[in-house]
């Protein structure tokens, strides 16, 4: 038994080490995205955003109500604000929307909603997301900016991919 354990120990160590390095790779580098630094309520954070500068100018704006809005062209518009968030309340709001009726949830998870809604008078559906990202003891609500813009499924998926990368920044952001 002792010989089997001694033989398996290097294999187990190798598997654990490979798993850890793979995780670090995915959080530090996302193809087609670049890292930007920001502060929310004094907390230094970073998030990955699309790196394609042909889509437009990257703008990071702190709104009066406390949200930080990040936009890049017409297909990437997210708002981040500190707060606990409430998935169930958001689901109720979606279900009770009289103008844009819920068509389906693409993702309905404890910290993420991704849904399609439709107005009977308009030709295309709208896609939206609402996410809660807890970083240490602080929770952030991240969602698409709803200011009349209509996003397709791919655009929202890109925003969700970016939202999942929000983390405490180890770099200085002056």
Q: What's the pLDDT tens digit per position in 38-55?
A: 999 999 999 999 998 778
Average pLDDT over residues 81-91: 97
Percent of the chain exceeding pLDDT 70 equals 82
Whether 27 shows a pLDDT value over 60: the answer reads no
Domain range for 4 is: 1-30
Distance in angstroms (rounded) separating the CA atoms of residues 128 and 145: 9
Q: Are residues 88 and 140 in the same domain?
A: yes
**Total-model pTM:** 0.79
Q: Is the domain of 82 the same as that of 57?
A: yes
> Does residue 105 or residue 9 have the better pLDDT?
105
Asked if 47 and 99 sit in the same domain, the reply is: yes
What is the C-alpha to C-alpha distance for residues 34 and 29, in angstroms, rounded to an integer?
8
For residue 78, give the CATH number of its domain: 3.40.1000
Domain co-membership, 21 together with 35: no
Task: Looking at the structure, tell me whether residues 48 and 22 fall in a common domain.
Answer: no
Please calculate the CA angle 45-47-52 and round it to the nearest 5 degrees: 145
Q: Stretch 125-147: mean pLDDT, rounded?
A: 95
**Contact call for residues 49 and 33 (beta carbons, < 8 A):** yes
**Are 102 and 113 contained in the same domain?**
yes
What is the pLDDT confidence band of residue 132, given thresholds at 50, 70 and 90? very high
Same domain, 37 and 111: yes
| Residues 17 and 52 reside in one and the same domain | no
**Res. 21: pLDDT tops 80:** no
- Whether 144 is covered by a domain: the verdict is yes
**pLDDT-based confidence at 146, cuts 50/70/90?**
confident
Q: Are residues 97 and 154 both part of a single domain? A: yes
Contacts of 56 (CB under 8 A, 6+ apart): 71, 72, 73, 74
Q: Which residue has the higher pLDDT, 29 or 2?
A: 29
Q: State the total domains in the chain.
A: 2
What is the pLDDT at residue 173? 52
């Amino acid at each position: 038994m002792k010989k089997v354990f001694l033989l398996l120990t290097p294999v187990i160590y190798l598997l654990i080490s490979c798993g850890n390095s793979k995780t670090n790779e995915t959080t530090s580098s996302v193809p087609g995205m670049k890292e930007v630094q920001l502060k929310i309520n004094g907390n230094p954070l970073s998030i990955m955003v699309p790196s394609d500068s042909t889509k437009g100018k990257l703008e990071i704006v702190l709104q009066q109500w406390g949200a930080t809005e990040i936009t890049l062209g017409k297909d990437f518009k997210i708002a981040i604000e500190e707060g606990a968030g409430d998935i169930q309340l958001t689901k109720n709001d979606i279900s009770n929307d009289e103008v844009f009726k819920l068509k389906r949830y693409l993702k309905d998870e404890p910290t993420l909603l991704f849904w399609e809604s439709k107005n009977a008078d308009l030709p295309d559906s709208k896609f939206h997301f609402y996410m809660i990202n807890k970083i240490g003891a602080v929770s952030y609500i991240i969602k698409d900016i709803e200011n009349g813009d209509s996003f397709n499924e791919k655009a929202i998926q890109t925003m969700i991919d970016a939202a999942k990368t929000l983390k405490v920044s180890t770099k200085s952001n002056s």
